[in-house]
Amino acid sequence: MMGSARTRSECERLFDRLRGGKRFYQPVPTLAGDAAKVRVFENRMEFIMSNVHLVGMTRVLDIGSCFGWNSFWLAERGCTVVGVERGRQKVDVCECLKVLRRLPMDNPIFHCMTIEDYAFKHKEEKFDLMLNLNTFHHMIKKDERRAWRALDRLSQRCRVMVLQCRGGDIHEQVIERTAYESKKPLGRPPGTRGVISRGMFLYW
């Protein structure tokens, strides 16, 4: 019990240092996020899983994993998850939360690096599903050519991708610029709001 209390205190200290009065897009497992916001994220994940049938799909890549909400949600339901997040402090919070939630140290695994660096450096890892949720348009804004090269690399190692992003023209280019050959519009997740309600596409 004392170890758990220390871990929670450490998590809160790390999170408070990072927060500084900011409002975050993603609820922070165990620490922050009102019930309504948590339910919105649960609705999105349940919608994704109802469309991506996890029969034989166990390895998931969560790019732009932030505070690990999606990664933890999947790991606690039996998936093997790798999250990629460039913010060191966010990854530190995730590692602390992993202990607090009594998950194994090797699931989820969080890599602190850009998604582009992960795509070019971790060439040996393969996945059944890539979650690309409200991240790719930020990559394009920073460096469009490198973003597409990274997505192409990842598409060769991730059997299926769920893409949610701003800009319909991005969805139009995925087939011609990556290894994916087919796509299916999934629409907007019910019971969501804001950026979480953006339309999604499934690629394979």
Question: 37-56: per-residue pLDDT in tens?
Answer: 788 899 999 999 999 976 66
Question: Which residue did the predictor score with more confidence, 38 or 74?
Answer: 74
pLDDT > 90? residue 11: no
Among 49, 15, 10, residue whose Cα is nearest residue 29: 15
Helix axes 168-177, 144-155, angle to 10 degrees: 60
| Spatial distance between the Cα atoms of 159 and 11, rounded to a whole number of angstroms | 34
- DSSP string spanning the chain? -HHHHHHHHHHHHHHHHHHTT---SSPBTTTB--HHHHHHHHHHHHHHHHHS--SS--EEEEET-TTSHHHHHHHTTT-EEEEEES-HHHHHHHHHHHHHTT--TTSSEEEES-HHHHHHH-TT--EEEEEEES-HHHHHHH-HHHHHHHHHHHHTTEEEEEEE-S-HHHHHHHHHHSS---EEEEEPPTT--GGGGS-EEEE-
All structural domains of the chain with their residue ranges? 2-203
Weakest-pLDDT range from 19-23, 55-59, 124-128, 200-204: 19-23
Q: Predicted confidence band at 3 (pLDDT cuts at 50, 70, 90)? A: very low
Percent of the chain with pLDDT over 90: 64
pLDDT for res 27: 74
| Spatial distance between the Cα atoms of 77 and 72, rounded to a whole number of angstroms | 9
pLDDT > 80? residue 18: no
How many CB atoms lie under 10 A from the CB of residue 156?
13
Q: Predicted confidence band at 9 (pLDDT cuts at 50, 70, 90)? A: confident
Weakest-pLDDT range from 7-16, 51-60, 120-129, 161-170: 7-16
Q: Predicted confidence band at 2 (pLDDT cuts at 50, 70, 90)? A: very low
Q: What tokens appear for 200 in the block?
A: 């999604």
As a whole number, mean pLDDT of residues 151-160 equals 97
Whether the link from the prior residue into 185 is cis, omega within 30° of 0, is: no
As a whole number, mean pLDDT of residues 1-24 equals 62
2-203 CATH choice from 3.40.50.150, 3.50.40.10, 3.40.50.1360, 3.30.530.20: 3.40.50.150
Check: CB of residue 83 under 8 Å from CB of residue 71.
yes
